């Protein structure tokens, strides 16, 4: 496991044989290759691509599951076929039991609270629930293919199965596991799955079930970490192996089930529903497969037993499902640019409580995501892409996403409205969660180690997709100016920090990496180079498992630009961008002509203020000197051109070669700009120059300007024009944290001072409904009736 923390000014904290032991020089351009990055192997090469011996495991699942609605429990039986494609022999398999709802799990025992006197209603309900309820996997039974029990050990959220005989490289083995899983009530105990019941007085009493992390799944065995053995503590999500799934789910007969993959027994639907599905394939607008009226009827009815829905999915890394009799279901076919890929069915499932917001936006947002992400990365390779409304705010699984926003219904009046936040929140979360299909569902990075690898890359593309949905889209993860407040905050860690140790999770895992990529695209590489390299990364690691170093290496190797300084600054440190333009000097060449230079010196001296000691003596009587003694030195000054000066100059002119004479005649201005790097993060200096003649130009000084001194540099610009003003980062593209030091000359900043109320103390006497009279400090109750009477009298 690589564990790097940047200390201070970007020097890795691990013991390095190379150290700057004199002075305070900081090399922000030091190459990461060979020191901080792992040595390339045959499995992942120096270019950042899968190596010529790249391998990964394949794990196939056949599962039968039953959802018991009254007890809200899943009972299941799975057959796992584990294909060992690694070069190693395996004596045991590790599986994941990623449900952190058991009281003795590390996540529960390591839970912390913020000190102070506050607790939310939900937190109290959660504490109450854990007294009576416990989640996690129960009744585990593990056997081999022929039913012989296999020894197993549970270590927190991990399960080790000891194989009867070692599994050789290239061989496969089968294990069978039976289990039961009580589902959590998502709105009470939280989490990325669970149920929600509509049991309030004005509700229909039915529930929505969202099942995820619901069966024991194989842990990852990789070329760089062996068995991945970090328990699920709560923040670091899931990393899994690709495989094929065949899953049969038995639910109450009136439920509608949505799941990873495609429905393998469509005859479970009515003829009308199947006809609507066929119609939806070519429809321009979403078509109801289960209409709102049908869902309403199901809510009021009762199940007549159970039905089994069967789904199959190829080459996916997980399997989730959703089930409810409340579901309205709409669908629309999405055609992609590539004729090789099949039509995608974009589908949404939601209760009446989510209408009309979901009918209007959910499925269309899926289609939009497929368009934009397809352009930036690769075409969507799966047959379905689904968005399900329930109690989970936003979570992704292969072909499945759980999304939360709903309209608001006033309890008393029944008035139905939705907020701007709910509208854009829904479109944004659907784009984000469907976007996870690319990162990490297909470009299979390790979420348990690195949050930024999926959330950061995905938030970047979400931002691009939102910008294309509507230029005024209100969400802002990605816009450089919006990251400033976080970048200057104290309690933060570098992006290269394990998911469980991340502070300010949303800003660190999502916003900062998204913004870094926006800046890399718009400011550092330009769109053409960035898009080529980003697409190459996505292409290389599609259905494979990249590490951070594969991403860094690919972006450099494919763009042809050294970016080690950029990774160091944005991913390995907590520096921020703040470049100050401290000083501008306008210089011209020395002409060596005494007539010119001495006159210039005299003008400069004259421009200086007269010393006070002379100026204030104008009122004081001075000795009237004898005019007869005035001499040469009274008539001339130190700027007077002498005969020797002229002779020297004539001599010089005769000796000059023509090109030297041309140099002396060069009339352009030499401007010297002094920049100071206050934030520590080295970045290009984007400098806008406004000239006296009304023209202006913007010069993009590369980050390498900081290579000899990362704190302060002076940079020269030669022009015949006369400079009037200059500004660093005029378009606000680098997340410069303090803009007040960007303009030269400095500007006066406008601000508004709000009046604050003068503080008044508590009045316990008035609060106790007592009063005094002008004649006594003895209190007496306020005579309310009397007061009212007085008012009446006034009228």
Q: List interacting residues with Zn ion (CB under 5 A).
A: 455
Smallest gap from Cβ 437 to Zn ion, in A, equals 11
Residues 6+ apart with CB under 8 A from 714: 672, 673, 674, 675
10 in Cβ contact with 26 (< 8 Å): yes
Measured CA to CA, the distance from residue 428 to residue 421 in angstroms comes to 10
Q: Across the strands, what pairs with 155?
A: 158
Please state the φ and ψ torsions of residue 732, each to the nearest 5 degrees.
60, 45
C-alpha separations of 725 from 103, 481, 748 in Å: 65, 23, 14
- In the bound state with Zn ion, the residue whose beta carbon lies nearer, of 347 and 453, is 453
Bridge pairing between strands 400-403 and 384-389:
parallel
Neighbours of 158 (CB within 10 A): 20
Identify which of residues 383 and 393 has a Cβ nearer to Zn ion in the complex.
393
Rounded least distance, CB 751 to Zn ion, Å: 37
Instruction: Count other C-beta atoms under 10 Å from residue 1's C-beta.
Output: 10
Phi/psi at 125 (5° precision): -60, -35
Tokens of 176: 């069978």
> How far is the CA of 186 from the CAs of 135, 197, 317, 328, 390, in angstroms?
12, 10, 23, 21, 9
Q: Is residue 77 within 8 Å of 63, Cβ to Cβ? A: yes
Is the CB of 455 or the CB of 550 nearer to Zn ion?
455
Q: Tell me whether the omega of the peptide bond preceding residue 615 falls within 30 degrees of 0, making it cis.
A: no
Helix-then-strand count for the chain, H and E: 22, 36
Q: Give CA 590 to chain center in angstroms.
A: 54
Report CA-CA distances (Å) from 510 to 107, 468, 733: 23, 19, 18
Which of residues 325 and 477 has its CB atom nearest to Zn ion in the complex? 477
Residue 290 three-state SS:
strand
Q: How far is the CB of 432 from Zn ion (least distance, A)?
A: 6
| 204 or 462: CB nearest Zn ion | 462
Kindly tell me which of 351 and 405 has the beta carbon lying closer to Zn ion.
405
Residue 538 CB, shortest distance to Zn ion, in Å, is 17
**Closest distance to Zn ion from the beta carbon of 455 (Å):** 5
Closest to Zn ion by CB, 359 or 396: 396
Residue placing its CB nearer to Zn ion in the complex, 455 or 736: 455
Minimum Å distance from CB 338 to Zn ion? 26
If the CB atoms of residues 487 and 514 are measured against Zn ion, the closer one turns out to be: 514
Nearer to Zn ion, 402 or 673 (CB): 402
Which CB sits closer to Zn ion, 204 or 455? 455
Tell me how far apart the alpha carbons of residues 19 and 427 are, in angstroms, rounded to a whole number.
Answer: 50
Q: Tell me the closest approach of the beta carbon of residue 454 to Zn ion, in angstroms.
A: 7
Least separation in angstroms between residue 392's CB and Zn ion is 12
At residue 244, the 3 state secondary structure works out as strand
Q: How far apart are CA 109 and CA 747, in angstroms?
A: 55
Q: What is the SS3 assignment for 554?
A: helix
Residue nearest to Zn ion (CB): 455
Nearer to Zn ion among residue 98 and residue 455 (C-beta): 455
Q: Which two tokens stand for residue 588?
A: 């011209």
CB closer to Zn ion, 455 vs 556: 455
3-class DSSP state of 264 = coil
CB of 585 to Zn ion, least distance (A): 50
Q: Residue 82, by phi and psi: left (phi above 0), alpha (psi -120 to 50) or beta?
A: beta
Backbone dihedral angles phi then psi of residue 330, each to the nearest 5 degrees: -125, 160
Query: Measured from the CB atom, is 459 or 742 closer to Zn ion?
Result: 459
**CA-CA distance, 466 to 472, in Å (whole number)?**
9
- Run of H or E residues at 136: none
Cβ burial, residue 393 (10 Å; 0-12/13-18/19+): middle
Distance (Å, rounded) from C-alpha 74 to C-alpha 70?
A: 11
Least Å from the CB of residue 475 to Zn ion:
13
Q: Which is nearer to Zn ion, 254 or 455 (CB)?
A: 455
Whole-number Cα distances in Å, 83 to 297, 376, 757? 46, 33, 71
Write down the least CB distance from residue 362 to Zn ion, Å. 17
- 596 φ/ψ angles, rounded to the nearest 5 degrees: -75, -50
Partners of 355 in the β-ladder = none
Distances in whole angstroms, Cα of residue 432 to Cα of each of 152, 331, 395, 396, 640 = 38, 19, 9, 9, 76
Burial grade of 716 (CB within 10 A; 0-12, 13-18, 19 or more): exposed
- The least distance separating Zn ion from the CB of residue 435, rounded to whole angstroms, comes to 8
DSSP 8-state assignment for residue 148: -
Shortest spacing between CB 509 and Zn ion, in angstroms: 8
Which residue, 374 or 440, is less far from Zn ion as judged by CB? 440
CB of 436 to Zn ion, least distance (A): 6
């Amino acid at each position: 496991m690589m564990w790097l923390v940047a200390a201070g000014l970007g020097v890795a904290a691990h013991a390095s044989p190379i150290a700057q032991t004199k002075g305070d020089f900081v090399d922000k351009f030091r190459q990461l290759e060979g020191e901080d990055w792992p040595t390339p192997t045959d499995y992942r090469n120096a270019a950042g691509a899968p190596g010529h011996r790249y391998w990964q495991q394949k794990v196939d699942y056949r599962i039968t599951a039953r959802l018991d609605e009254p007890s809200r429990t899943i009972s299941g039986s799975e057959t796992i076929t584990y294909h060992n494609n690694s070069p190693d022999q395996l004596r045991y398999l590790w599986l994941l039991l990623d449900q952190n709802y058991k009281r003795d799990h590390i996540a529960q025992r390591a839970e912390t609270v913020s000190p102070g006197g506050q607790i939310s209603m939900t937190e109290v309900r959660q504490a109450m629930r854990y007294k009576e309820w416990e989640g996690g996997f129960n009744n585990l039974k593990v056997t081999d293919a022929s039913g012989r029990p296999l020894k197993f050990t549970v270590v927190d959220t991990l399960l080790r199965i000891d194989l009867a005989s070692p599994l050789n490289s290239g061989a496969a083995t089968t294990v069978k596991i039976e289990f039961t899983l009580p589902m959590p009530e998502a709105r009470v105990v939280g989490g990325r799955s669970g149920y929600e019941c509509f049991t309030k007085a004005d509700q229909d009493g039915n529930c929505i079930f969202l099942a995820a992390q619901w069966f024991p799944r194989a842990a990852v065995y990789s070329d760089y970490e062996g068995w991945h053995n970090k328990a699920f503590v709560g923040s670091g999500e899931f990393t899994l192996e690709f495989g094929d799934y065949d899953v049969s789910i038995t639910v109450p007969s009136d439920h509608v089930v949505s799941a990873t993959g495609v429905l393998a027994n469509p005859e479970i639907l009515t003829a009308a529903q199947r006809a609507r599905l066929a119609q939806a394939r070519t429809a321009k607008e979403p078509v109801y497969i289960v209409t709102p009226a049908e869902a309403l009827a199901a809510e009021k009815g009762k199940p007549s037993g159970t039905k089994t829905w069967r789904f199959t999915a190829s080459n996916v890394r997980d399997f989730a499902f959703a089930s409810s009799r409340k579901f309205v279901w709409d669908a629309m076919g999405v055609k992609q640019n590539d004729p090789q890929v099949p039509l995608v069915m974009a589908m949404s499932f939601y209760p009446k409580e989510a209408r009309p917001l979901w009918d209007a936006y959910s499925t269309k947002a899926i289609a939009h995501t497929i368009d934009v992400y397809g352009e930036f990365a690769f075409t969507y390779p799966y047959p379905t892409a689904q968005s399900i409304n329930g109690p989970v705010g936003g979570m992704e699984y292969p072909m499945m996403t759980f999304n939360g926003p709903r309209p608001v219904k006033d309890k008393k009046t029944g008035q139905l409205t939705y907020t701007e936040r709910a509208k854009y929140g829904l479109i944004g979360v659907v784009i984000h969660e469907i976007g996870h299909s690319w990162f990490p569902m297909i470009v299979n990075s390790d979420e348990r180690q690195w949050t930024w690898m999926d959330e950061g890359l995905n938030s970047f593309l979400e931002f691009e997709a939102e910008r294309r949905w509507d230029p005024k889209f209100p969400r802002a993860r990605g816009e450089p100016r919006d990251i400033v407040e976080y970048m200057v905050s104290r309690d933060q860690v570098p992006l290269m920090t394990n998911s469980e140790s991340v502070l300010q999770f949303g800003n660190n895992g999502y916003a900062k990496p998204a913004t870094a990529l926006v800046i890399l695209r718009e400011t550092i590489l330009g769109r053409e180079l960035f898009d080529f390299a980003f697409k190459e990364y996505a292409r290389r690691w599609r259905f494979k498992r990249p590490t951070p170093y594969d991403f860094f290496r690919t972006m450099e190797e494919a763009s042809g630009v050294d970016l080690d300084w950029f990774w160091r600054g944005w991913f390995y440190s907590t520096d921020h961008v703040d470049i100050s333009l401290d000083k501008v000097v306008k210089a011209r060449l020395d002409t060596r002509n005494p007539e010119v230079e001495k006159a210039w010196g005299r003008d400069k001296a004259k421009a200086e203020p007269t010393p006070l000691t002379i100026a204030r003596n104008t009122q004081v009587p001075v000795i009237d000197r004898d005019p007869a003694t005035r001499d040469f030195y009274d008539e001339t000054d130190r700027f007077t051109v002498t005969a020797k000066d002229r002779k020297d100059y004539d001599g010089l002119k005769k000796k000059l070669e023509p090109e030297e004479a041309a140099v002396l005649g060069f009339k352009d201005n030499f401007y010297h700009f002094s920049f100071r790097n206050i934030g520590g993060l080295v970045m290009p200096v984007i400098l806008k120059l406004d000239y006296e003649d009304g023209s202006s130009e913007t010069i993009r000084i590369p980050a390498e300007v900081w290579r000899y001194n990362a704190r302060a540099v002076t940079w020269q610009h030669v022009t015949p024009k006369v400079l009037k003003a200059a500004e660093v980062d005029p378009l606000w593209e680098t997340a410069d944290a303090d803009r007040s030091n960007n303009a030269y000359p400095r500007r006066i900043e406008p601000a508004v001072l709000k009046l604050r109320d003068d503080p008044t103390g508590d009045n316990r006497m008035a609060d106790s409904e007592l009063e005094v009279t002008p004649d006594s400090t003895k209190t007496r109750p306020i005579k309310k009736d009397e007061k009212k009477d007085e008012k009446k009298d006034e009228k």
